[in-house]
Amino acid sequence: MHTTTRNYLLGSAAALALLAAALYWQSGSTVADSQHVAKVNNATKQVGSIASLVDDLAMRLQEDPDDAKGWLLLAKSYKHLGRTVEAQKAYRQATLLGEYDQELAALDGSVVSSGNSGQRIAGSVSLSAAAQEIVLPTDTVFVFARAVDGPQVPIAVVQRSAADLPLEFSLTDSQAMSPDARLSNFDSVVVTAKVSRTGEAPSELQALQARSETITVADKRHLKLIIE
């Protein structure tokens, strides 16, 4: 991790401590005297300032998308701010880079959208016979699309349990990691399916994945990915 990024994250961690204090004063103060009112007002200002810091961190990660700990911190920050959907998306990126957090894992799930606008990629994911000997039902499967000419951060991500394999997936704009990097913004992508396990994963598992050839999003092909 770059020194500037590390220093920024440390600063953001301190900001989260302020956020916790702010939320305490907002929810725990029951005595309506002038001293407590002043503390609540100050806490509200702190929350606004922290939200700005979190947005700055999100922008920095667009420039350094391989910063796993940065994505994890961003997910925790969003969670504390009550921005659940954004926390889910940031945590998915962190897990793709090898990070894990029990509370965020419980929070995470398929992002449900009231509508799926724009382009769509559909397909199936299954395991080869050899992969079935390694993958456990408790493992996690990630299916994600990356633009051929675009940001390194996935532009759509689906997370499912390995117990669901074989499974059908659908990638749309509703699973975007960033509102500025959506599936419908790009013509060509590569779709990857990979398996992740918390804790000490065997080296064989780390190599398990399936990757499509470069596909044109508008073709609306049904992909068949076999993890091996």
Residue 86 near residue 70, CB atoms below 8 Å = no
State the burial class of residue 218 (Cβ atoms within 10 Å of its Cβ: 0-12, 13-18, 19+). exposed
pLDDT for the residue numbered 173: 82
Distance CA 178, CA 186 (A): 13
Distance CA 11, CA 7 (A): 6
Distance CA 228, CA 220 (A): 24
pLDDT for the residue numbered 202: 67
Distance CA 143, CA 96 (A): 10
CA distances from 59 to 18, 30, 67, 146, 213 (A): 21, 37, 12, 18, 30
Element holding 223 (H helix, E strand) = strand 222-227
Q: Note if the pTM is more than 0.85.
A: no
pLDDT for the residue numbered 47: 46
> For the chain, which residues make up each domain, given as ranges?
3-107, 120-227
Distance CA 53, CA 19 (A): 11
Distance CA 93, CA 118 (A): 22
Report residue 114 CA to chain centroid gap.
19
Per-10-residue mean pLDDT of the chain, 228 residues long, equals 46 48 40 44 50 81 84 84 82 75 65 50 93 91 90 85 89 79 90 83 76 92 93
Distance CA 92, CA 75 (A): 9
φ, ψ of residue 172 to 5 degrees: the values are -140, 180
pLDDT for the residue numbered 30: 40
Distance CA 115, CA 95 (A): 26
Architecture of domain 3-107: Alpha Horseshoe (1.25)
- Please name which of 88, 92, 93, 85 lies closest in space to residue 61, comparing C-alpha atoms: 93
